[in-house]
Amino acid sequence: MPAIQKIAPCLWFDDQAEEAVNFYTTLFPNSKVGGVMRYSEVGREFHGREPGSAMSLEFELDGQAFTALNGGPHFKFSEAISFQVYCKDQAEVDYYWDKLSEGGDPAAQQCGWLKDKFGLSWQVVPTAWFAMLEGADPAGVERATAAMFQMKKLDIAALQKAYDG
């Protein structure tokens, strides 16, 4: 079990939890798969899963604890919940954007948001964006915000150019 934190997200998948966890833990540094609970014959009339298939997995992404659950098709992810990935430079933005969006929904890409192949929403955000938003030039903030609304993947140089006028 990962180190206990006060609050940890539990991600509900139909039956792709193990695949998703293996995918996510390859993308982020300091990540690992922890314990895996498997379905047994007990309760099969309720869960309908093959004994031995993954029920839930504990995992960490860059030290942040998560749980993934194969709970069935009853619930789906929505854009109302997303995970933000703060990136130090454009290379990091490009890396996470390319990896997380691969196989995802291209129609769900806007302003740094994307939906991955499992239906989970992510925001890939350069930390430079926050510096611009907190900048002393209100007109620059407006220009950078207008530029951001035209983007799918955020482009730090284009945002900075818009901010600078």
CATH code, domain with 131? 3.10.180.10
Mean pLDDT of 28-33: 97
Predicted confidence (pLDDT) per residue in 74-115, tens digit: 999 999 999 999 999 999 999 999 999 999 999 999 999 999
Looking at the chain, the whole-number percentage of residues with pLDDT higher than 70 is 98
Q: What are residue 149's phi and psi, to 5 degrees? A: -65, -15
What count of Cα atoms within 13 Å lies in the side-chain half-sphere of residue 121? Answer: 15
CATH code, domain with 17? 3.30.720.100
Q: How far is CA 64 from CA 24, 75, 96, 110, in A?
A: 12, 23, 17, 25
Last residue of a domain, one of 45, 70, 95: 70
Mean pLDDT of 16-42: 96
Predicted confidence (pLDDT) per residue in 147-159, tens digit: 999 999 999 999 9
Token pair in block for residue 45: 């009339």
pTM attached to this predicted model = 0.91
Q: 98 and 44: one domain? A: no
